[in-house]
Structure formats: structure tokens, C-alpha cells
Amino acid sequence: MNPKKRAFLEVRVNKLRRDIVLMLSESSSGHPGGSLSAIDVIAYLFFEVMKFDSANPYWEERDRFILSKGHAAPALYAVLAAVNFFPKKLLKTLRKLGSPLQGHPDSRKLPGLDSSTGSLGQGLSIAGGIALAGKMDKKDYSVFVLAGDGEIQEGQIWEAAMAIPHFELDNVCLFVDNNELQIDGLVSDVMSVYPIAEKFASFNWNTMEINGHKFDEIEKAVEFFVSNRGSKKPTVIISHTIKGKCVSFMENKCEWHGAAPTKDEAIKAIEELGCVESLENWLEEK
């Protein structure tokens, strides 16, 4: 990847991390850990890969994105605002009564959401249906899905993992956000899902493992998926990440799965992110 592009992305995504922290502190509830682990992949897809038109959110040819781990909604909302699906000032209404920014994505309330999610394990099947419709209608859109590593304990994930290659849906690209934690502890302690790549490979998926915080590697993963279109096999990217990434006191801590930072904690976090100058006007900033 061109170093300039990488540096540009890093600055941009750093601001999204700031948005996530401030939005959660504003709402006093929500999920920072899994939002911060997934933000690099989600942002890269919307900034660099997916075709969409935020002025025409239901454009039929658009690429789709399903946030199967719906609790990472703040990450998706920050990205959708950054690509102009809705005004950024809405971010401060997260989880408040009447807000289109529901605690978990609600496709009836917010443009840019290709499906409602929130109950874990359902997004990959929904993506399968969208991908199947794409094949039926001879459309060449791709369907990107992001699932948690704890989430893939759900049996439905493996029903979808079986059905998607069965229907030769090579237009599906699943990212597993492999941050190694769920709520009650390490995924390997609670209910091991390992080895992930081998499981999917035996279900007939193309597989690749990357560091999900490195844009060079995310780019390679997307190239791998694109090169596999036509292989009649879907692609899964095991994206190794850190829960709470870039906020030192949140990193690798289960406690930050579903706890919002206080004002003071949020200030500490954005100091670490190096965006403290923008605390007052973060919602006005382009």
C-alpha cells in the first residue's frame, strides 16, 4: 500500500475511534471493546472498497455490509456518518429515545444499514440470502459480513457456513473479528471455536488470516476475496484484532465489552488517541 494512503487512512480512522469513545460516553451505555477492534476493517471497506451512493442508500447495485455482531454499532455509525449517510451530529443521540441510532442496528430507522442485527449469529444467513438474490438477479454486488469470534459459537453460523458454499455464493466475504474475547472471558476458555480457518476451509470456504489493524493486510484480504470471485467459493478472513484497540486501559479487557466510558475516561482515551483538541467541536468537524 502506498504509504501516503496508509497514513491518510490512519489519521481518518483515529478520528473514528475518537467518535466511538465520545459517542459512548455521551450515551452512558454501549460496547466500546468490540467497536474499537472492528473499526479498521469496517472503515477500510466503506472508504476504499465498497460501491455505494450515500445520496441513494437503497441503490440496488450497491455492495452490502452486514454487521452481524450488531453490538459494534457505534463503529458502523461513525463510518456511515463519515461517508455522509446522515449528519454527524446524530452521533450524539446514540441509544437515546427516538434516535435512529438504536443500540443495535435497525434498518428501518437509519439509511445505510443493509439489515437489522443485534441477536448474534443471524447476520451470515441474512448475507447468504442477499448474496443469493444477487446471483438470481445477475447483479455483481458483493456482500461483506463482520462477525465476532464469540458469535461464531452460534450453531446458525455453521448452518450458514454450510449453505453459502453449497449455493456457490462467491460474492460473500466474511470477516471474523478475532479479538479472542467475549463477555465471560477468553473465547478459548468459554467455548473454544478454534481452529477457525480450518473449520471454514473444511466447509469449502477460501480462507486467509490477517492482522485486522493493518491496512496493508486488510487490502490484501480484499484483493484475495476479489480474486476468488468466480471460484464458486465464499471467502472468510480471520482478522486478528485487539479488543479495545488504541485505548490502553480498554485493550484486552472483558470489562470494556459492554461498559461505556465516563467523561473523564473518555478524555483520557482521546488524549491517547491524540485528538484532544477536538473535544468541543467533534460533531462539527468534517
Partner 1 sequence: MSKLEMQATRDFYGKTLAELGRENKNIVVLDADLSGSTKTSVFAKEFPDRFFNLGIAEANMMGFAAGLALSGKVVFASSFAMFAVLRPFEQIRNSIAAQNLNVKIAATHAGISVGEDGLSHQTVEDIAILRAIPNMHIYVPADSVSAGRIVREAVAVKGPVYIRLSRPKSPVIYDDSYHFEDGKANIIKEANKADVALIAIGMMVPEAIEASKLLEAQGLSTLVADFASVKPIDHDALIRIAKSSRLVVTVEEHSIIGGLGGAVSEVLSEEYPTRVFRIGMMDAFGESGTPAGLFKHFGLTAEDIYRKVLKAVK
Minimum CB separation of residue 67 from ligand TPP in Å reads 11
Give the three-class secondary structure for 170. coil
H helices present in the chain, as ranges? 3-27, 32-44, 73-82, 123-136, 155-166, 187-190, 196-202, 215-228, 263-273
State CA 263 to chain mean position distance.
25
Map the footprint of ligand TPP across residues 198-237, applying CB under 6 A: none
Minimum CB separation of residue 231 from partner 1 in Å reads 30
> What does the H/E/C string look like for 67-136?
ECCHHHHHHHHHHHHHCCCCCHHHHHHCCCCCCCCCCCCCCCCCCCCCCCCCCCCCHHHHHHHHHHHHHH
- Does position 25 interact with Mg ion (CB under 5 A)? The reply is no
Minimum CB separation of residue 271 from ligand TPP in Å reads 24
Map the footprint of ligand TPP across residues 101-120, applying CB under 6 A: 119-120
2: left (phi over 0), alpha (psi -120 to 50) or beta: beta
Considering only 145-153, 166-174, 230-238, 275-283, which stretch makes contact with partner 1 by CB under 8 A? 145-153
- Does position 69 interact with ligand TPP (CB under 6 A)? The reply is yes
Site string for ligand TPP, 127-156 (x = CB under 6 A): ---------------------xxxx-----
CA distance linking residue 250 with residue 119, whole number of Å:
24
- Does position 34 interact with ligand TPP (CB under 6 A)? The reply is yes
- Does position 121 interact with ligand TPP (CB under 6 A)? The reply is yes
Q: Among residues 233 and 257, whose Cβ is nearest to ligand TPP? A: 257
Q: Which residues pair with 177 in a beta bridge?
A: 148, 239
Of 254, 245, 183, give the one whose Cα is nearest residue 213: 245
Map the footprint of Mg ion across residues 181-210, applying CB under 5 A: 181
Say which entry of ligand TPP, Mg ion, partner 1, none residue 106 contacts (CB below 5 to 8 A, set by partner kind): partner 1
Map the footprint of partner 1 across residues 12-31, applying CB under 8 A: 27, 29-30
* Residues in contact with 284: Cβ distance below 8 Å, sequence separation at least 6, in sequence order: 88, 89
Say which entry of partner 1, ligand TPP, Mg ion, none residue 111 contacts (CB below 5 to 8 A, set by partner kind): none
**By the criterion CB under 8 A, which residues form the site for partner 1?**
27, 29-30, 70, 95-99, 102-104, 106, 116-121, 150-151, 153-155, 182-184, 190-191
